[in-house]
Chains A and B, each alone.
Chain A
């Protein structure tokens, strides 16, 4: 199975800060990497697919980069509504696996 490791596991930042979350795969997954935002009691939301493609309707302050084993999600200017837990997910092969999550507090 492909293991996905996210860091940090949590962070606290201020409105307007630039925030970076990293995700590392245990083997190369090309660009089969997706990012989600999850808030308590709500449906998870797809932000970025194929490592760097912005999902329709997602603000442009969210960007994804990377390929192979190392990936990054960047929020260029953190907004109050960006709190929640962020997960990476590899879609290279089954079992599809998620990172452990990064909890973002404002």
Chain B
């Protein structure tokens, strides 16, 4: 069974940092583009970042560019999101989502984790 479990969320002050992790099981991470998507309280879904299979192609939403860094460890079947200079508006549930096999950018999200809550507040 395909599963993705996010961890690392929590309460952090504005300007602080957090590192999210996503542990994948039931499939091999390496051939898939992997993604982070978030949902702020009471809002819709927002794509955050994507990383291609060998990390050759990396994309970010303008809202997080320069502050967030996506990475992956195919050997550990894991995806990461390093979040620096956090802002109140980054408060959201962050979802790890599997993309299409061998995609470099154009992708849907066929499996999702249940998310981890990040709260940025003083």
A residues with CB within 8 A of B: 32, 34, 36, 38, 41-46, 49-50, 55, 85, 87, 89, 91-101
Contact = CB atoms under 8 A, between A and B. Distances in A.
B45 A43 contact: no
Contacts of A91: 106-108
B31 interface: no
Contacts, number: 62
Contacts of A46: 108-111
- Size range of the interface on B? 20 to 34
A4 to B, nearest CB: 10
Nearest to A91: B106
A98 B113 contact: no
Nearest to B59: A94
Given A44-B37, A44-B95, A44-B109, 19 more contacts: A32-B106, A34-B108, A36-B109, A38-B45, A42-B114, A43-B113, A43-B114, A44-B45, A49-B108, A55-B110, A89-B45, A91-B107, A92-B106, A93-B106, A94-B50, A94-B59, A95-B59, A97-B47, A101-B45
Interface of B: 35, 37, 44-47, 50, 59, 61-62, 95, 97, 105-115
Given A92-B106, A94-B59, A43 B46 contact: no
A97 B59 CA distance: 13
Given A43-B115, A55-B110, A87 B47 contact: no
B115 A87 contact: no
Nearest to A41: B114
Contact of B47 (A50, A95, A99): A95
B113 A96 contact: no
